[in-house]
Structure 1
């Protein structure tokens, strides 16, 4: 087990050679005489002639490193097993580049990105039927229904030429589970990049604690977080920031962020930076005025101890199912000790009474997506049985939520919502906590806030 160093890691993007390795790993899993198709994302209109910030299709990004819209990556494998990569991308266009920005173009796609051949997007419909002709198997993501419809259109074009000797592929294979397995195990460079995303995110959480004051609005703390992200090279958050004061913390996906921060209340911030497409996902909870009340301390320490208990148990061969069993039993005992749950302990654990207050999962995979791809091996009892392996990255995020409306508990507990979340990489020896520079003990939080 280990903890990330506090010094700033150097890696801010993956080397382009890494994407060639990703492609090679995917092509090694393709059968002979097959073709795999991966579409890029398209820009989405926000209003009239303005677009949302572009977010690349993560499978396309993983295999190409190419961050322009409307492209298509084609991977070919012939009958002898020789592989080839082809990229369709937007054409160089001087007028467009004056208005919207420079494009990479086809020449640099080959020179810089290690692609074997590159053509303009306008050639896709002309060339794709030829690439499909004679292949025995087509691989593409079944979950993208719009693209799947396009694939069937191309297959129909091939079928229409059967009398002229064309041969239509007979087998269709879903690439989603194949690439999910590849993305689930991170390379050394991916881990280095995620350390950097965590480091930046940790600095942002520190800043939020330092800038927090009674009377500020939640969105002012959100602005401080986004400022710190951008200041260190992460221009975008990995997801909409949750900045939830007081009872708002008991709304799990609260993003209004428009309430006033009040004295003697807690502030829950769930915010992570995105760096070169890779996500951090960190939650910290702290007192608005810099000092925990007695009740806040009790709940906070229980959640912190549960988080550390789960993290310290992480190693190859462990599973979320086992971690959940361990954590739920610990939290149940803690809530009994505080008088929030009552009854016989074994029955409370058996009936999962803790889920009345710990109402979400313990964690999830993390990578190019916040809730990243990868099979959890869930059984009929909804237990996540997938055994951990080195290179997996996950969140661990226990929480206790007691809304003001919960009249079943003593008034002193109501309105308290606490979640603490770290990002953990599985190593051969155990684990590495990537979330190293964001204060989390009561003493460290209060010390940081009092000094500012």
Structure 2
């Protein structure tokens, strides 16, 4: 009889009070004569009568926690009747019989903590009245629908200037304020991300244990995504990458259809999304559970660079500095293995390493797998501070070309972990999946 995998204990969910506090923090940065407008995601048609699974817009979720499409949030600092106004779908018994219960405008106030709520049929008329007299309107400039709506509302108010209407005189981009707020995670967010990383780690372990020649890449993808669902993560945080052999050299390979071949490596880049927060882990391991000597030598170059990079994640460090250290370590390893020839510093200056290492070492992680927040301050690389969450993911991708030593051709290796900056260093959120050669081989022997 097969024993079902244990189910992890999930951390506490965010509450209406948490989202209210986020809105208050954002409004504290806005002028008293301003307003901010943020739109939800809508439904996206997949084909004919079918939509893609709904996933809320990350900015809208961050401020509201609202689970439904076709909604809008208006923030009005200092408004006595209520600063936080939601527009949402109306209660509709027939529609709800098909697609599920809606919270509705009354529930938005009573249950979700908004000061006021209106249904969408009144949205444009009510919005215009609420914006009358506000001098600046903050919207996310990357959201074309929001910009179109903002311009329409301003034009509607401008048409009534003779009757005393006062349209906003300027639009401002909300992203710099909101995205800087999102960049620094609080303890509740970190708990959710720790859980997403733990689910992701268990999924990678499961894939290692099941791997063998004769399976296909999609079999490992199925094992990974089964674990996501089993642990309550309804979807991957991004399209899972499972690249066997030379496919691992394609950075965003997502076909996942090829057979797994005896003697080759397989690279898996996959992460669970839990409560909309992303896990993002990459591991590379031998299909049959045993590294060949050339594979091991190349793997250890990447692993040592990654371990040194993680150790460098401390308050005050910069992602640029960490990346430069990784480039030096990888280039040194490439010279030692004979894949590059010459002085390490000169090879770095000439960017010779870029034949084998094309991407950056890190990116922010949060509600988006490539999360928001500037990487620079005043034109300079920004120092890391506690609460930032980032990936550390060096890699080497050796092309299958004639001037490459045969034993290294077509090998792709990436090792990626999720790391949070703490007050005195860092915490690796994704530590639950092995990455040393010995630990991977031991795990795969046990799985076999």
**TM-score (norm: length of structure 1):** 0.95
CA distance in 1 between counterparts of 2:307 and 2:15 reads 34
| Residue segments in structure 2 that go unaligned for 5+ positions in a row | 1-6
> Residue 23 of structure 1 contacts residue 63 of structure 1 at CA under 8 Å; is this kept in 2?
yes
**Aligned positions of 1:17-416 closer than 5 A:** 17-78=17-78, 84-377=83-376, 385-404=381-400, 406-416=401-411
> Residue 82 of structure 2 contacts residue 116 of structure 2 at CA under 8 Å; is this kept in 1?
no
Q: Note the C-alpha offset of 1:114.
A: 1.0
Q: Which stretch of the first structure deviates more once superposed, 190-199 or 320-329?
A: 320-329
Q: Which stretch of the first structure deviates more once superposed, 168-177 or 68-77?
A: 168-177
CA distance in 1 between counterparts of 2:366 and 2:9 reads 17
Q: Note the C-alpha offset of 1:349.
A: 2.2
Question: Which among 411, 415, 421 is matched to residue 420 of structure 1?
Answer: 415
CA distance in 1 between counterparts of 2:221 and 2:77 reads 48
CA distance in 1 between counterparts of 2:128 and 2:30 reads 19
CA distance in 1 between counterparts of 2:377 and 2:241 reads 28
> Residue 245 of structure 1 contacts residue 266 of structure 1 at CA under 8 Å; is this kept in 2?
yes
Computed over aligned residues only, the root mean square deviation of the Cα atoms, in angstroms, reads 1.7
**CA separation of 1:144 and 1:300: change in aligned 2, threshold 3 A:** same
CA distance in 1 between counterparts of 2:125 and 2:278 reads 37
CA distance in 2 between counterparts of 1:9 and 1:312 reads 29
Structure 1 counterpart SS, 2:182: helix
> Residue 218 of structure 1 contacts residue 258 of structure 1 at CA under 8 Å; is this kept in 2?
yes
* Residue number in structure 1 paired with 2:4: none
Structure 2 counterpart SS, 1:113: coil
Q: Note the C-alpha offset of 1:102.
A: 0.9
1:365-407 superposed Cα distances (whole Å, 9 cap, x missing partner): 0000000111011898xxx712111100000100000122x22
> Residue 205 of structure 1 contacts residue 284 of structure 1 at CA under 8 Å; is this kept in 2?
yes
CA distance in 1 between counterparts of 2:12 and 2:51 reads 26
Higher RCO (CA 8 Å, separation ≥ 6 residues)? 1
Q: Note the C-alpha offset of 1:110.
A: 1.0
* Residue number in structure 2 paired with 1:4: none
1:183-235 superposed Cα distances (whole Å, 9 cap, x missing partner): 00001000000000000000000000011110101111101111000000001
Q: Which stretch of the first structure deviates more once superposed, 83-92 or 12-21?
A: 12-21
* Residue number in structure 2 paired with 1:436: 431
Q: Note the C-alpha offset of 1:9.
A: 5.7
Number of residues of Structure 1 aligned to a counterpart in Structure 2: 442
> Residue 266 of structure 1 contacts residue 285 of structure 1 at CA under 8 Å; is this kept in 2?
yes
CA distance in 2 between counterparts of 1:355 and 1:446 reads 30
Structure 1 counterpart SS, 2:43: coil
* Residue number in structure 1 paired with 2:15: 15
CA distance in 2 between counterparts of 1:50 and 1:117 reads 33
Structure 1 counterpart SS, 2:357: coil
**TM-score (norm: length of structure 2):** 0.96
1:34-79 superposed Cα distances (whole Å, 9 cap, x missing partner): 1110001100000111000111111110000001001000100138
CA distance in 2 between counterparts of 1:211 and 1:107 reads 50
CA distance in 1 between counterparts of 2:82 and 2:415 reads 46
CA distance in 2 between counterparts of 1:324 and 1:15 reads 37
Structure 1 counterpart SS, 2:111: helix
Q: Note the C-alpha offset of 1:415.
A: 1.2
Structure 2 counterpart SS, 1:305: helix
Structure 2 counterpart SS, 1:274: strand
* Residue number in structure 2 paired with 1:3: none
CA distance in 2 between counterparts of 1:109 and 1:79 reads 18
**CA separation of 1:185 and 1:71: change in aligned 2, threshold 3 A:** same
CA distance in 2 between counterparts of 1:368 and 1:387 reads 21
CA distance in 2 between counterparts of 1:158 and 1:332 reads 61
CA distance in 2 between counterparts of 1:67 and 1:114 reads 14
CA distance in 2 between counterparts of 1:33 and 1:83 reads 14
Q: Note the C-alpha offset of 1:363.
A: 1.0
Structure 2 counterpart SS, 1:77: coil
